[in-house]
Amino acid sequence: MSTFAGPGFLAIELDGAGWDGISRAVLAAESAGFHAATFTDAPAPGRPNALQRAAFAGPVTRSIALVPEVDTVYTEPFHISTQLASLDYVSGGRAGWIVTAAESPEAAAAVGRSSVTGAALGQEAAASIEVSRRLWDSWEDDAVIRDVATGRYIDVDKLHYADFETPAGFTGPGYSVKGPSIIPRPLQGQLPVLAPASLLGEVPVEAVDAVLVSAPTAELLAAEVRDVRARVGAGVAVVAELNVVLDARGQSAAARHASFDGGRAAYAGAAAGLTDFLADLLKEADGVRLHPASLFAELEELGRLVLPELRRRGALRPVVQDGTFRDLLGLDRPASRYTTAAAAPAGAGK
């Protein structure tokens, strides 16, 4: 259960940074005071995927959470779970996961399966989340014993089978995952899982820790946040999505205006206006993820003018130094559902 309350947090999408610019971008975002950096997964020839970029950023950062988008439809759930667990280790417990499930005939063809559409997308996402959570729990926290005297590295009694099978009525090809994982339990126990509000329904609310909320216009965004809050309750963080283009480097936002995702609210204008908008929005949302038109141009203005003023107003919570992404979201570290020491309480696997 989330205990998130009070001032909000800010995340920034770093998709505009190429492979050579990842370190520069994530360090600039961390220095500016952003709480989280996200990485869009838009595969292209020769380009590392979102997980690889986040992993590259892990060792060079200290406080910023690293949250890649990872597809749940055409990526093997076992691989998702283990790669995200590895990210949690290289980042010192600052990893999260944005669940994606979109129609992609190209991705389907690449893995030799039929394209997934409609409600089946959400079913694939829900199954992948459940597999990952079970595999993260399949090693108890003290499974690694490193007993030199006996030559035992692992207490095998503290490794458990995940024993997952797709549920009845699953639209796509059914599958099963036995487990256990090949990687010890993540530092956070369970990585925070974020999902777009569009997946809610097929993906149960209790399966996620935060919901990403979009609206077609900035004027409608706060109302959409309130609507989603009413659906998910207080135990799940609600994060608003906002495109941003600012007056910067001697050019007005109108002159710099980029082509944005038409389904996402956008702000274009002066930094002072954005500060006012975010201050009001953070009274409704637990956090906001910004999608800059030009990464480094917007980062410069955000770090110089917007985030300092939001902090002065008390709208932003402090950056968690040497903490975890769960700490940022106000989430306790859960016990493994399979623990042999004591029966875990209901819902402890989240």
Residue 340 lies in a domain: no
Residue 162 lies in a domain: no
CATH classification at residue 280? 3.20.20.30
Number of structural domains found in the chain: 1
* pLDDT on residue 256: 79
* pLDDT on residue 7: 95
* pLDDT on residue 2: 47
8 A C-beta contact, residue 99 and residue 72? yes
Can you give the residue range of the structural domain that contains 32? 9-114+186-329
Residue 134 lies in a domain: no
Residue 246 lies in a domain: yes
* pLDDT on residue 220: 97
* pLDDT on residue 183: 96
* pLDDT on residue 5: 61
163 in the Ramachandran plot: left (φ > 0), alpha (ψ -120 to 50) or beta? left
* pLDDT on residue 4: 57
Q: What is the pLDDT along the chain (350 residues), one digit of tens a residue?
A: 444 567 999 999 998 666 778 999 999 999 999 999 999 987 666 778 999 999 999 999 999 999 999 999 989 999 999 999 999 999 999 999 999 998 887 777 777 777 888 889 999 999 999 999 999 999 999 999 998 888 888 999 999 999 999 999 999 889 999 999 999 999 999 999 999 999 999 999 999 999 999 999 999 999 999 999 999 999 999 999 999 999 998 889 888 776 776 689 999 999 999 999 999 999 999 999 999 999 999 999 999 999 999 999 999 999 988 899 999 999 999 999 998 644 444 444 56
Residue 198 lies in a domain: yes
Residue 180 lies in a domain: no
* pLDDT on residue 45: 66
Residue 142 lies in a domain: no
- Rounded to two decimals, what is the model's pTM? 0.93
Amino acid code (one letter) for 208: V
* pLDDT on residue 298: 95
Residue 119 lies in a domain: no
